[in-house]
Amino acid sequence: MVLGQEKILAFFQQAQAGNSLAQVYILVGSAQVGKRTAARQIATQLLKISEQQLDSHPDFRMLERQIDEKTGKLRKDLGVAQARALREELTRCAWLGGYRVVIIDEAERLNEEAGNALLKILEEPPEHSIIFLLTENEAALLPTIRSRAQIIYCSMSSEKIIQQFLVEQGCPAKEAAAIARLAWGRPGRALRLFQDSAFRDACQRAIEQWHELEQQPFHLQIKILDNFFSRLENSSRNRDELMEILELWRMEERQAIIASPEKRRVETIDRLGRAVQLIQQNIHPRLVVENILLHS
Q: Which CATH superfamily is domain 6-153 in?
A: P-loop containing nucleotide triphosphate hydrolases (3.40.50.300)
Residue 138 near residue 168 (C-beta atoms within 8 A): no
SS3 (DSSP) at 105: coil
Residue 154 near residue 8 (C-beta atoms within 8 A): yes
Q: Are strands 60-63 and 100-104 parallel, antiparallel or unpaired?
A: parallel
SS3 (DSSP) at 245: helix
Decide: pTM greater than 0.75: yes
Work out the angle between the directed axes of helices 35-47 and 6-17 (0-180°, nearest 10). 30
Domain boundaries defined on the chain: 6-153, 196-294
Count Cβ atoms below 10 Å from residue 23 Cβ, excluding itself: 17
- E-strand spans in 29-109? 60-63, 100-104
SS3 (DSSP) at 32: coil
Q: CA 228, 229, 233, 239: dihedral to nearest 10 degrees?
A: 100
122 vs 124: CA distance, rounded Å: 5
Q: What is the pLDDT along the chain (296 residues), one digit of tens a residue?
A: 678 788 999 999 999 999 999 999 999 998 899 999 999 999 999 999 999 999 999 999 999 998 888 878 888 899 899 999 998 888 888 888 889 999 999 999 998 899 999 988 888 888 889 999 999 989 989 898 999 999 999 999 999 999 999 999 999 999 999 999 999 899 999 999 999 999 999 899 888 888 888 777 877 877 777 777 776 655 445 777 788 888 888 888 888 877 676 777 788 888 888 887 787 777 777 787 777 776 65
Q: What are the Cα distances from residue 280, in Å, to 76, 227, 283?
A: 11, 22, 7
